[in-house]
Amino acid sequence: MSRLNGFLRGVRVLDLTRHLPGPLATLLLADMGAEVLKIEPPDGDGMREMGPRKADGSSACFSAVNAGKTTRRIDLKSTAGRAALLDLATSADVLIESFRPGILTRLGVGYDVLKGVNPRLIYCSLNGFGCTGPLAQMAAHDLNYVALAGALPPLGADGSLPDTPLADCAGGLFAALALVSALYGRGRDGQGCHIDLALLDAVLPLQILPLAQLGAAGVPPRAGEGPINGGAACYRVYETGDRRRVALAALEGKFWHAFCAAAGRPDWVARHADPLPQRALIGEVASMFGGLTLEECERRFGPADCCFAPVRELPEAVASAHVRSRGLVHRTGDGELQPLFPAIVDGEPPRPRPPLGEG
């Protein structure tokens, strides 16, 4: 066992969440050694029916976010089910749930009741809009949260979106951070607490730089006109002559100078400070990249230390020498790819996750 896998040894977590945000949070806690019991309704977590199937017919997505935990099905609408949860809560350190506000209270197993049986319990409500506010009861998914948080990127002509659900992942990460911090705080005062964490809210800290501009200038950066959203020639994605893409991020002067030298265009150096958006310079740089293949770009700009990288497809990224050397993506015996907790402690990566067990 690596040190990371033992950081939360002895911590008991009850996970009443479904789909991605909550299970991602408890997956990270399990990675650090917590004992996570996933409590599912009698018909199971709906994510069991979502996404691609593994060879045994089970959901690859469900398995990915619930490995390393144990599961138990409890009907919280029944007297016996509620009693079972209360019994489990007496010895738990953490309970995390993703119901709409008020549902568990109406069932008789809300925070106040659970706090009564275990004052040390750290209870996290992780839902779309939080426990308060005018949208608290609104149904929504990741796309809605990102849209309402002002973070939806400009769409392509086909309306396509990234595969990574921004709000769901941010919510899971912030929940894990809050829970670990609450455990640390409880070690000082012995008291549990109620954490109210909304997925929409979790998107806002990710926009710390646009919000800084909004506060200072009264307007947010417009797409394609700011220094890091496509308005600067030094920080963009460009297409190569063989229809691949490259990412240039030469923000600082020294990196831009190195890039211009490798491009054989010393006349571009002074244009680093051209007013935004730098459409003319962007066109010239695009033309240069368009005359080269990806391989030629890598040979020319890779050694130049100018913040240049090829845009890899996911299979290429996983197979790359660097990712393989870090040992943080594990392929299981049945072919499943596990992105492990991204931390190496005392030189040792985390161990692969065991499969979901039955409690």
pLDDT per position as a tens digit, 214-263: 999 999 888 888 899 999 999 999 999 999 999 999 999 999 999 999 99
180 and 247 both lie in a single domain: no
Q: What pLDDT score does 8 carry?
A: 98
pLDDT grade for 5, boundaries at 50, 70 and 90: very high
List, for residues 246-256, the tens digit of each pLDDT value.
Answer: 999 999 999 99
183 and 243 both lie in a single domain: no
List, for residues 329-354, the tens digit of each pLDDT value.
Answer: 999 988 899 999 999 999 999 999 99
Does position 169 have pLDDT exceeding 70, yes or no? yes
Q: What pLDDT score does 156 carry?
A: 55
37 and 139 both lie in a single domain: yes
Instruction: Indicate which residue of 45, 168, 189, 242 is catalytic.
Output: 168
152 and 244 both lie in a single domain: no
Residue whose structure tokens are 């190496």: 344
Does position 181 have pLDDT exceeding 80, yes or no? yes
291 and 173 both lie in a single domain: no
78 and 117 both lie in a single domain: yes
Examine residue 349 and state whether it is found in any structural domain, yes or no: no
Examine residue 215 and state whether it is found in any structural domain, yes or no: no
251 and 200 both lie in a single domain: no
Show the CA angle centred on residue 66, arms to residues 355 and 35, nearest 5°: 80
Examine residue 299 and state whether it is found in any structural domain, yes or no: yes
List, for residues 260-311, the tens digit of each pLDDT value.
Answer: 999 999 999 999 999 999 999 999 999 999 999 999 999 999 999 999 999 9
Q: What pLDDT score does 358 carry?
A: 81
106 and 30 both lie in a single domain: yes
Q: What pLDDT score does 155 carry?
A: 59
Examine residue 129 and state whether it is found in any structural domain, yes or no: yes
Alpha carbon distance 292, 288 (integer Å) = 7
Residues 312, 334: contact at Cβ < 8 Å?
no
Provide the CATH number for the domain around residue 259: 3.30.1540.10
List, for residues 57-80, the tens digit of each pLDDT value.
Answer: 889 999 999 999 999 999 999 999
Buried-exposed string 4-29: b where 16+ CB fall within 10 A, e elsewhere: bbebbeebbbbbbbbbbbbbbbbbbb
Residues 127, 178: contact at Cβ < 8 Å?
no
Examine residue 327 and state whether it is found in any structural domain, yes or no: no
pLDDT grade for 123, boundaries at 50, 70 and 90: very high
Q: What pLDDT score does 161 carry?
A: 79
Examine residue 348 and state whether it is found in any structural domain, yes or no: no
| Residue ending a domain, choose from 274, 294, 311 | 311
| Residue ending a domain, choose from 311, 334, 349 | 311
Range of the domain at 181: 4-206
Provide the CATH number for the domain around residue 145: 3.40.50.10540
Residue whose structure tokens are 């299981």: 332
Show the CA angle centred on residue 161, arms to residues 28 and 334, nearest 5°: 45
181 and 127 both lie in a single domain: yes
| Residue % of the chain over a pLDDT of 90 | 88
Collect all residues with Cβ–Cβ distance below 8 Å to 189 and sequence separation of at least 6. none
68 and 118 both lie in a single domain: yes
Does position 359 have pLDDT exceeding 80, yes or no? no
181 and 288 both lie in a single domain: no
Write down the mean pLDDT value for the chain.
Answer: 95
Kindly state the average pLDDT of the residues 99-119: 97
Whether residue 56 lies in the annotated active site = no
189 and 66 both lie in a single domain: yes
Does position 157 have pLDDT exceeding 70, yes or no? no
Alpha carbon distance 54, 9 (integer Å) = 30
pTM of the predicted structure, to 2 decimals: 0.93
Structure tokens that stand for 73 in this block: 């099905």
- For residue 67, which of 348, 344, 349, 339 has the smallest C-alpha distance? 339
Residue whose structure tokens are 């896998």: 5
Examine residue 108 and state whether it is found in any structural domain, yes or no: yes
Please state the domain count of the chain.
Answer: 2
Examine residue 268 and state whether it is found in any structural domain, yes or no: yes
Amino acid, res. 191: Q
